[in-house]
Structure 1
Amino acid sequence: MSKPDYRKSAHWIACPPLGVEGGIAKAGPRVSTAKVHERQPLQPVIVKPDEAVADCFFVHGTIRESSGHPNIDSRLLMSPQTRTYQTNMISAFSHVARCFAPFYRMVTFAEDRPGGQEARWSMAFEDVAAAFSHFLEHWAAQRPLLLVGHSQGGVHVMRLLKCFFDGDNIAAMRLRARLVGCYAPGIWVTAADLPSHVPVCAGPGHVGSLAVWMCATETAELTSDTLVGRTVTALKSAPPIVVNPLTWLPARNGDGAAAAATAHLGALGVLPDGTPALFVDCCGGALARGGLLRLREISKRHAFLLAFYRGEGKDYHAFDLHLVWANVREQVRQQLENWLQAKFDAGSEDVSQDPALQQTETPRYHQTPNPTALAAGSNRWLRCTPFESALMCSIS
């Protein structure tokens, strides 16, 4: 299985400079589920790439399991339906950013030889890091950044933060100065897993922060009813961090204040004809409790609305982003507005001329220790952690 060549469009789900557009291709309706016949036009959901102010680097999660192969080129599993699923997630950021999303030799969770977890995760991350390096060097050298990954993609994003954004070196500091926001829903992250220089999101419009959450029903048990919980609970002694996307406030000690139904701005779904649609009035609010973002049903009569997004048991894992799509879009808009305002206030109206963003070299993955050095423990975040070893068992 050969390495991806990120100079070629075939190795990208989304890459505007190579002619591969990401995000929803057409605007659908805004559907009020409480009033089934009430439909209003959605606002356009993508901005022209040459008009976008920022760039978004998105890492997809596990597309599906593939028995017998510890890693597989994700291009081989990209059906039209799967591509739509991925680009719908990407579209949460396409109203302000050019969106880039690489294919990579993803971990499939197939059975492997003992000790093979590190090799499979290293292979996947080496591809993601190579794509990110190519993205920075050729297309996003000085622009504001959004960094996003779901599920397995979230694991890789956390490692990107450690490898490229953490530390006191000039390259990392310059990247942090460009970071508008980072999103890694669908994974279990504790305080011990956090990068030292990227804070957890603490409110609406918080620039340069990390937001993580896992969606489930009101009555779900973290360790038994959710895919992530069943996988990694034996390895985690601390509860997962949860940021409530309806308020953008973090839960304290695993619990947080409830958000009302009016705080939910809409979930992204599709109509029977396949047209993307924003579903409002489908969620009765959300509460961060016990390590989960618990979505409330509006009523028993409308329970089927959220049931559409539910996987096995009481888990909404596959739709962690879709379910709060409109809230994420609004948060991203506020973050970028605040980022630009801060640059303007600092006397750098033209962000491309901001001295803090000037670089003599682009951060590269190969500047970090090589795999041989990693085996000796020189950089634990480029090696397979127990968290990632557990994730390989079942996250999709």
Structure 2
Amino acid sequence: MIRNALKNSLRGRLSAMLLLTIVLAMLVAGCGDSSSSSDGADRQTTDYSVQTHWLKVPETTDKEVDVFYLYPTAWAKTAPTDANIAEIDNASMLAGSAAAYARQATAFEPVGNVYAPYYRQVDAAYSLALPAQERDELLASVPAADAEAALDYYFKHYNNGRPFLLVGHSQGSNVLILLLADYFKNHPEYLERMVVAYVIGYSVTADFLAANPHLHFAQGPDDTGVIVSYNTLSPTVDSDNVPFLLPGALAINPISWTLDETPAAVEEGLGSFLPDADGVFQQVPQYADARVDTSNGVVRCATAVDDELRLSSAGVYHSYDIPFYYFNLRANAANRVEHYFDAQ
């Protein structure tokens, strides 16, 4: 049923968004605060006391924990003369981020009160054409500066001392890595309340963790205060040709929550979240299996069929990192929350 539906659905709602989320991945460090840049972008951080600068603020805080979510790349330049960094009210980004929230962040709504700021993003094609150092500085100075300002506002005005989860994908995960390395190093009182950071669709490397000893990678389904990360590929894709993958990456199996290469079959999954023929995302039987490829630091999925999916590159399931394992992620988040409170 789902395979027939997928053939008919993934041509509209996801077309631009899925192409965008695959192309932007950069390991960056630091967060500048200069007021201008060579591309003319305004480097003054966004004011998060303005409610329209939030994609989602819960109407009620009836959960014991919060979720802070950063969406993946949600816009692209439509003309060479367009700005290389989206304005905070860019209509395309607003629509794209809402679509990403619907297929990703909703997995965590039953677990926590979800807070999701808008943040200015870089155009993927522009950023990848820059020399590495300039590219890193650009991502750090605008998207990460906005996200840090939003996170700081969240802690001071919304959190009220609750434990929290971090969730990001693609460019959102790139930014989370910056926050984990810098902001949370400078705010250990907040890091102590972090249940888990789902840094998905971005490579978390052994070298990065070695340089940031306050951070730790998940070792199983139950540990807390840790990072969970993976990128999803078919068994035949050479990870060296995927621009957002980094050497030395770590990955955890999003079905079995193990680090070794033991496969997790479809039958072990709790369900996927994929679009029907009308493009409406809904729960379906588990679609994707999972096996960690330790040599490349990725998750290999052998059950997905490329012809059924809207892909920008064959065998690269970047846009489905969360939807493939949607209900396993939800269950794992609830499990880690339970273990967090058990340990208190």
Fold equivalence (TM over 0.5): yes
Distance 2:244 2:322 in 1: 15
Change (3 A) 1:90 1:293: same
Change (3 A) 1:275 1:307: closer
Distance 1:212 1:62 in 2: 18
What residue number does 1:102 align with? 117
- Counterpart selection for 1:59 from 70, 78, 82: 70
Distance 1:223 1:159 in 2: 23
Q: Provide the TM-score with structure 2 as the length reference.
A: 0.77
Distance 2:105 2:214 in 1: 25
What residue number does 2:215 align with? 198
Shift of 1:329: 0.2
Q: 1:9-88 alignment to 2 at 5 Å?
A: 9-16=51-58, 49-66=60-77, 67=80, 68-76=82-90, 77-78=92-93, 80=95, 82-88=97-103
Report if aligned partners of 2:185, 2:214 keep a CA contact under 8 Å in 1. Answer: yes
Q: 1:1-396 alignment to 2 at 5 Å?
A: 1=42, 3-16=45-58, 49-66=60-77, 67=80, 68-76=82-90, 77-78=92-93, 80=95, 82-109=97-124, 110=126, 116-117=134-135, 118-166=137-185, 171-172=187-188, 174-194=189-209, 195-224=212-241, 226-229=242-245, 238-251=247-260, 256-283=261-288, 285-289=289-293, 290-297=296-303, 303=305, 307-308=308-309, 310-343=311-344
Letter of the structure 2 residue corresponding to residue 287 of structure 1:
R
Distance 1:147 1:261 in 2: 27
Shift of 1:134: 0.1
Change (3 A) 1:120 1:160: closer
Shift of 1:113: 7.5
Q: Provide the TM-score with structure 1 as the length reference.
A: 0.68
Number of aligned pairs? 290
Distance 2:243 2:285 in 1: 26
Report if aligned partners of 1:166, 1:196 keep a CA contact under 8 Å in 2. Answer: no
Change (3 A) 1:219 1:55: same
Distance 1:164 1:97 in 2: 22
Report if aligned partners of 1:267, 1:326 keep a CA contact under 8 Å in 2. Answer: yes
What residue number does 2:18 align with? none
Distance 2:94 2:175 in 1: 23
Change (3 A) 1:116 1:12: same
Distance 1:165 1:86 in 2: 24
Q: How high is the sequence identity, in percent, across the aligned residues?
A: 24
Distance 1:175 1:250 in 2: 27
What residue number does 1:363 align with? none
Report if aligned partners of 2:88, 2:120 keep a CA contact under 8 Å in 1. Answer: yes
Letter of the structure 2 residue corresponding to residue 296 of structure 1:
A
Shift of 1:264: 1.8
Report if aligned partners of 2:229, 2:250 keep a CA contact under 8 Å in 1. Answer: yes
Q: Which has the larger radius of gyration?
A: 1
Shift of 1:338: 0.9
Distance 1:259 1:222 in 2: 20
Shift of 1:197: 2.1
Shift of 1:336: 0.6
Distance 1:65 1:223 in 2: 25
| Equivalent position SS for 1:13 | strand
